[in-house]
Chain A
Amino acid sequence: MLQVSQLTIRFDGTAALDGANLTVEDRSIHVLMGPSGSGKSTMLRAVAGLEDPDAGEIAWNGRSVLGVPVHKRGFGLMFQDYALFPHRSVAGNVAFGLKMQRLEPSAIPNRVDEILELVGLPGYGDRSVGTLSGGERQRVALARTLAPDPRLVLLDEPLGALDRSLREHLLIEMRSIFNQVDATVLYVTHDREEAFTIANRVAIISDGRIVADDTPEGLWRRPPDGWTARFIGLENLCSASKLVELGVPHPGGTTNTGVVPPEAINLSPTGPHAATVTGSHFRGGAYRIELDLGEGSNLVTWSPVGFEPGAIARFEIDASRITWFED
Chain B
Amino acid sequence: MRTKPWVLLLAVVPTLFLAYFFVYPLVTILYTGLVPEGRIATSAFVEIVTDPTMRSVAWFTLWQAFLSTVFTVALGLPAAYVFARYRFPGRSLFRSLTLIPFVLPTLVVGVAFLAVLGPGSPFGVDLRGTIWAILIAHVFYNLAIVIRGVGVLWEQIDPHIEDAARSLGAGRWRVFREITLPLLRPAILSSASLVFLFSFTSFGVILVLGDLSHSTLEVEIWRQATAFLRLDLASALAVLQLVGVTVILLVYGQATKRDSGEIPLRPSFEVARRPRSAGERAFIAATLGMLGLTVITPIAVLIGRSLSTPTGPALTHYANLFDPPRSSAIFVSPVDAIGNSLRFAIPSVMIAAGIGLMAAVVIVSAKGRSGRIFDTVLMLPLGTSAVTIGFGFLVALDQPVDLRASAMLIPIAHALVAIPFVIRSTVPVMESVQRRLREAAAVLGASPRQAWREVDFPLVSRALAVGALFAFAISVGEFGATSFIARPATSTIPVSIFRLLGRPGTFGEAMAMAVILMVITGIAAMGIESMRGSRSGGV
Chain A residues engaging chain B, CB cutoff 8 angstroms: 48-50, 69-72, 74-77, 79, 81-87, 96-97, 100-101, 128-131, 137, 144-145, 148
Contact = CB atoms under 8 A, between A and B. Distances in A.
A42 B455 CA distance: 24
Interface stretch (B53-61, B211-219, B331-339, B437-445): B437-445
Contact of B455 (A74, A81, A85, A148): A85
A141 B511 CA distance: 56
A105 to B, nearest CB: 15
Interface string B512-539: 0000000000000000000000011111
Interface in B408-455: 434, 436-437, 439-448, 450-451, 454-455
A326 B161 CA distance: 49
A303 to B, nearest CB: 42
Nearest to B446: A100
A100 B445 contact: yes
Contact of B536 (A50, A100, A130, A145): A130
Contacts of B537: 86, 130
A72 B445 contact: yes
Contacts of B444: 71, 76, 96-97, 100, 144-145, 148
B459 interface: yes
B458 interface: yes
A48 B443 contact: yes
Chain B interface helix/strand/loop/mixed: helix
A71 B445 contact: yes
Contacts of A100: 441, 444-446, 450
Given A70-B439, A137-B539, 16 more contacts: A48-B439, A49-B442, A49-B443, A50-B439, A69-B442, A70-B443, A71-B450, A72-B445, A83-B434, A86-B535, A87-B462, A97-B444, A101-B445, A128-B536, A130-B539, A144-B444
Contact of B436 (A72, A83, A96, A129): A83
B94 to A, nearest CB: 23
Contacts of A70: 439, 442-443
Interface string B85-96: 000000000000
A191 to B, nearest CB: 22
A176 B441 CA distance: 26
Contacts of B536: 86-87, 128-131
Contact of B439 (A83, A87, A131, A148): A83
Contacts of B446: 71, 96, 100
Contact of B443 (A71, A84, A87, A137): A71
Contacts of B462: 87
A83 B445 contact: no
A71 B447 contact: yes
A81 B436 contact: yes
Interface string B315-356: 000000000000000000000000000000000000000000
Contacts of A148: 444-445
B329 to A, nearest CB: 54
Interface in B481-539: 535-539
Contacts of A82: 539
B436 A71 contact: no
Contacts, number: 83
A243 to B, nearest CB: 49
A148 B441 CA distance: 12
B107 to A, nearest CB: 38
B539 A86 contact: yes
A100 B536 CA distance: 24
Contacts of A144: 440, 444
Contacts of B445: 71-72, 74, 97, 100-101, 148
A84 B439 CA distance: 11
Contacts of B448: 71
Interface string B288-302: 000000000000000
B458 to A, nearest CB: 5
A222 B450 CA distance: 49
A86 B459 contact: yes
Contact of A87 (B442, B447, B450, B458): B458
A50 B451 CA distance: 14
B16 to A, nearest CB: 34
Given A83-B436, A85-B455, A76 B539 contact: no
Contacts of B447: 69, 71
- Max count, chain B CB within 10 A of own CB: residue among A100, A131, A137: A100
A130 B537 CA distance: 6
Interface in B375-430: none
29 contacts: A50-B439, A50-B443, A69-B447, A70-B443, A71-B444, A71-B445, A71-B447, A71-B448, A72-B445, A74-B445, A76-B443, A76-B444, A77-B443, A79-B436, A79-B440, A81-B436, A83-B437, A83-B439, A84-B539, A86-B459, A86-B535, A86-B539, A87-B458, A87-B536, A97-B445, A128-B536, A130-B539, A145-B443, A148-B444
Nearest to B539: A86
Contact of B440 (A69, A83, A131): A83
A309 B537 CA distance: 55
Contact of A130 (B440, B458, B538): B538
A107 to B, nearest CB: 16
B490 to A, nearest CB: 41
A74 B442 CA distance: 10
A179 B216 CA distance: 75
A71 B439 contact: no
A133 B412 CA distance: 47
Contacts of B535: 86
B437 A85 contact: yes
A79 B445 CA distance: 15
A159 to B, nearest CB: 18
Instruction: Pick the 9 closest A-B CB pairs, nearest first.
Output: A130-B536, A100-B445, A97-B444, A70-B442, A86-B539, A83-B436, A83-B440, A77-B443, A71-B442
Interface in B111-146: none
- Max count, chain B CB within 10 A of own CB: residue among A82, A96, A144: A96
Contacts of B443: 48-50, 70-71, 75-77, 145
B463 to A, nearest CB: 11
A184 to B, nearest CB: 15
- Max count, chain A CB within 10 A of own CB: residue among B440, B447, B455, B458: B440
Contacts of A85: 437, 440-441, 455, 539
A246 to B, nearest CB: 51
B255 to A, nearest CB: 29
A141 to B, nearest CB: 9
B441 A96 contact: yes
A129 B539 contact: yes
B143 to A, nearest CB: 29
B38 to A, nearest CB: 54
A70 B443 CA distance: 6
